[in-house]
């Protein structure tokens, strides 16, 4: 499904000039229940018109309008009659192209500021006349374009907020989308509701209803196959498509032998048991374990697992096809692709969000499989996917689970992966998960798991000397997995996890806490 599906909802588009906050703007708008889409900065008026947008937001960006290859806007956008809000670099573009003066600065003004509201503006209606705001900008406006007026100033800028009411053009030099501008959400909502006339009609209930209809229209009487991993995205996609087309969907769940404790039982119980989804369970554990025998190199492990997954999945779909009778066949492959995966491919270079973790695309299926793709979550951010999951009555255990890598526990067992080492890690990991859930910390952190190290050390248990394995605990906070910090978990919880692992898991006599950040370390150890 393409991202340009026409939703019956108010829509605002955001032109992406490379700001690290572009996605934040899009999410803030959606939190205010207005549907938003991010478009490349060089989209012109015609392309924007076809989206049906009621408003345009210009993101900030790292460039100066004076740079030779700075991303430029088609100035005709300012003459479309659709309201425009320029943020940071966006306000400078507005001033630059409409006859104002912008002063070059190679030093960014960065940090908190105080905005004094000067005149009447729909942006500040209902708000105090003095506001805390967050600045992060280079160039500065020294004269507003004809017809514009200043409606807000800060310590360092007489033109921190400007407007041309008649032409519905507005500019903010600060960032209303970040948490450091506490009333920023109200400013954005004023733009959405008062200026653009949007209604708060983007709800997950309406998304489900409309998407189900679109899935039915697209699929007709054909069949859909989906690789279910048990992660949030594929699970929500499965539940949504099942709601739309019921038994025309078959999920394939591959047990690669590298799953967490009870994982395959849980997934089968939820999807086959509760949801009555047609589920093909493929136990390929022995194949994977045999393949991994003697392999210790992390990259080799990943490649072998990725390649084998594709073979197993292809075989499973062939089996499905041969089991079927009648004219309908499996024409569609469903995937839980999310909006951030889609935006990454249109962002301009220099945007940190454009960095793609290619090595993570394990389980990506080859085009030779000749399927048409069905990606019903392409428009959603992760928090929206979770809401959809809750509305579809998926259990919290699935909806709020932490990310788990495609190659599974293999990248958390340093050295050779054997059945015995998998058993040890599964037990240790289960204790970590249970203790984290018991204190609710599981839901506050990005990931919390155990890693089995290829290190044995001496210990003492009762009167016995031991010489056993060690595990490391990796518990990190992160926004998106790109950067991460280790969590300052209360000592009591760490102590409890450590004591339980050493007492209960045979083969472990030492627990360490990983206190490295990403970068330079990574979250997973391999
Ligand atoms: P790293 O280890 O690169 O991980 O800091 C960043 C995030 O990505 C997850 N991860 C994966 N996810 N397939 C996935 O679907 C993979 O192969 C994979 N490897 C790492 C990791 O758990 C963390 O959240």
Predicted confidence at residue 327, as pLDDT, reads 58
Q: Measured between alpha carbons, how far is 27 from 5 in angstroms, rounded to an integer?
A: 18
Cα-to-centroid distance, 463 and ligand 1 (Å): 42
Q: Among positive and negative, which fits the CA dihedral 362, 363, 367, 368?
A: positive
Tell the residue nearest (CA) to atom 14 of ligand 1.
405
What ligand 1 atom has the least distance to the C-alpha of 482?
A: 6
Residue 391 known to be catalytic = no
Does this chain's domain 204-399 share its CATH topology with 412-513? Answer: no
The answer to whether the CB of 92 is under 6 A from ligand 1 is no
Q: Measured between alpha carbons, how far is 381 from 184 in angstroms, rounded to an integer?
A: 20
The answer to whether the CB of 523 is under 6 A from ligand 1 is yes
Ligand 1 pocket mutation, candidates 230, 256, 299, 360, criterion most atoms within 8 A of CB: 360
Catalytic-labelled residue, pool 97, 137, 164, 175 = 175
Catalytic-labelled residue, pool 37, 109, 177, 384 = 177
Cα-to-centroid distance, 97 and ligand 1 (Å): 43
Predicted confidence at residue 60, as pLDDT, reads 92
Cα-to-centroid distance, 216 and ligand 1 (Å): 33
Cα-to-centroid distance, 381 and ligand 1 (Å): 18
> Can you give the pTM of this predicted structure?
0.90
The answer to whether the CB of 405 is under 6 A from ligand 1 is yes
The answer to whether the CB of 447 is under 6 A from ligand 1 is yes
Q: Say if CB 170 and CB 93 are below 8 A apart.
A: no
> Which pLDDT tens digits describe the chain residue by residue (526 residues)?
444 445 677 999 999 999 989 999 999 999 999 999 999 999 999 999 999 999 999 999 988 888 888 999 999 999 999 999 999 999 999 999 999 999 987 777 889 999 999 989 999 999 999 999 999 888 889 999 999 999 999 988 999 999 999 999 999 999 999 999 999 999 999 999 999 999 999 999 999 999 999 999 999 999 999 999 999 999 999 999 999 999 999 999 999 999 999 999 999 999 999 999 999 999 999 999 999 999 999 999 999 999 999 999 999 999 998 887 665 689 999 999 999 888 854 444 444 443 333 345 444 666 667 899 999 999 999 999 999 999 999 999 999 999 999 999 999 999 999 999 999 999 999 999 999 999 999 999 999 999 999 999 999 988 999 999 999 999 999 988 999 999 999 999 999 999 999 999 999 999 999 999 999 999 999 9
> How big, in percent rounded to 5, are the helix, strand and coil portions of the chain?
35, 25, 40
What ligand 1 atom has the least distance to the C-alpha of 522?
A: 5
Residue 212 known to be catalytic = no
**Looking at domain 412-513, does it have CATH number 1.10.3720.10?**
no
The answer to whether the CB of 256 is under 6 A from ligand 1 is no
Cα-to-centroid distance, 438 and ligand 1 (Å): 25
What ligand 1 atom has the least distance to the C-alpha of 484?
A: 5
CATH number belonging to domain 11-195: 3.40.50.880
- Residue whose C-alpha is closest to residue 58's, from 28, 25, 33, 27: 25
Pairing of strands 130-137, 109-117: antiparallel
Predicted confidence at residue 325, as pLDDT, reads 65
The answer to whether the CB of 250 is under 6 A from ligand 1 is no
The answer to whether the CB of 403 is under 6 A from ligand 1 is yes
The residue ranges of every structural domain in the chain are 11-195, 204-399, 412-513
Q: Say if CB 139 and CB 102 are below 8 A apart.
A: yes
- Residue whose C-alpha is closest to residue 74's, from 50, 51, 98: 98
What ligand 1 atom has the least distance to the C-alpha of 478?
A: 24
Cα-to-centroid distance, 482 and ligand 1 (Å): 9
Cα-to-centroid distance, 522 and ligand 1 (Å): 9
Residue 88 known to be catalytic = yes
The answer to whether the CB of 362 is under 6 A from ligand 1 is yes
Ligand 1 pocket mutation, candidates 413, 481, 514, criterion most atoms within 8 A of CB: 481
Cα-to-centroid distance, 62 and ligand 1 (Å): 28
User: Burial code of 289-318, b = ≥16 C-beta within 10 A, e = fewer?
Assistant: bebbeebeebeebbebbbebbbebbeebbe
Tell the residue nearest (CA) to atom 11 of ligand 1.
405
Pick the CATH number of 204-399 from 1.10.10.2840, 2.70.160.11, 1.10.1740.10, 3.40.50.620: 3.40.50.620
Three-state SS string over 259-328 comes to: CCCCHHHHHHHHHHHHCCCEEEEEECHHHHHHHHCCCCCHHHHHHHHHHHHHHHHHHHHHHHHHHCCCCC
Predicted confidence at residue 369, as pLDDT, reads 74
């Amino acid at each position: 499904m393409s991202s340009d599906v026409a939703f019956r909802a108010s829509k605002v588009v955001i032109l992406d000039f490379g700001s690290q906050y572009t996605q934040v703007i899009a999410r803030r708008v959606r939190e205010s229940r207005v549907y938003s889409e991010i478009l490349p900065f060089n989209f012109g008026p015609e392309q924007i018109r076809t989206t049906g947008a009621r408003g345009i937001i210009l993101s900030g960006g790292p460039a100066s309008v004076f740079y030779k290859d700075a991303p430029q806007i088609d100035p005709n956008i300012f003459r479309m009659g659709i309201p425009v809000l320029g943020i940071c670099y966006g306000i400078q573009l507005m001033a630059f192209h409409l006859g104002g003066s912008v002063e070059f600065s190679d030093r960014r003004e960065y940090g908190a500021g105080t905005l004094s509201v000067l005149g009447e503006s729909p942006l500040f209606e209902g708000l105090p006349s003095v506001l805390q705001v967050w600045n992060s900008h280079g160039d500065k406006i020294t004269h507003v374009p004809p017809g514009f007026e200043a409606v807000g100033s800060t310590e360092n800028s007489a033109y921190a907020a400007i407007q041309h009411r008649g032409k519905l053009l507005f500019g903010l030099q600060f960032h209303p989308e970040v948490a450091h501008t506490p009333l920023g959400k109200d400013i954005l909502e004023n733009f959405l509701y008062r200026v653009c006339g949007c209604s708060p009609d983007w709800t997950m209930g309406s998304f489900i209803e409309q998407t189900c209809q679109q899935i039915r229209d697209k699929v007709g009487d054909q069949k859909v196959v989906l690789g279910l991993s048990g992660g949030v995205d594929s699970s929500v996609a499965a539940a949504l498509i099942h709601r739309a087309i019921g038994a025309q969907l078959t999920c394939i769940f591959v047990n690669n032998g590298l799953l967490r404790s009870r994982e395959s039982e849980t997934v089968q119980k939820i999807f086959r048991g509760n949801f009555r989804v047609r589920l093909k369970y493929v136990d390929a554990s022995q194949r994977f374990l045999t393949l991994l025998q003697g392999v210790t190199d992390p990259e080799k492990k990943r490649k072998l697992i990725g390649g084998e997954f594709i073979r197993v999945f292809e075989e499973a779909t062939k089996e499905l096809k041969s089991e079927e009778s009648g004219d309908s066949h499996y024409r569609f492959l469903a995937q839980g692709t999310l909006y951030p995966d889609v935006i990454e491919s249109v962002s301009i270079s220099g945007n940190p969000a454009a960095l793609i973790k290619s090595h993570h695309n394990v389980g990506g299926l080859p085009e030779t499989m000749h399927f048409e793709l069905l990606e019903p979550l392409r428009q959603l951010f992760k928090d929206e996917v979770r809401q959809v999951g809750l509305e579809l009555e998926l259990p919290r255990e699935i909806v709020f689970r932490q990310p788990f890598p495609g190659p599974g526990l293999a990248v958390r067992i340093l050295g050779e992966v054997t059945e015995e080492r998998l058993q040890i890690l599964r037990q240790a990991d289960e204790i970590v998960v249970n203790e984290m859930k018991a204190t609710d910390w599981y839901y506050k952190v990005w990931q919390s798991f155990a890693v089995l190290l290829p290190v044995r050390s001496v210990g003492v248990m009762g009167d016995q000397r031991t010489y056993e394995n060690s595990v490391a605990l990796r518990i990190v906070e992160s926004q998106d997995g790109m950067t991460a910090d280790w969590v300052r978990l209360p000592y009591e919880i760490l102590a409890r996890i450590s004591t339980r692992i050493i007492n209960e898991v045979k083969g472990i006599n030492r627990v360490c806490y990983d206190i490295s950040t990403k970068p330079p370390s990574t979250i997973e150890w391999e």
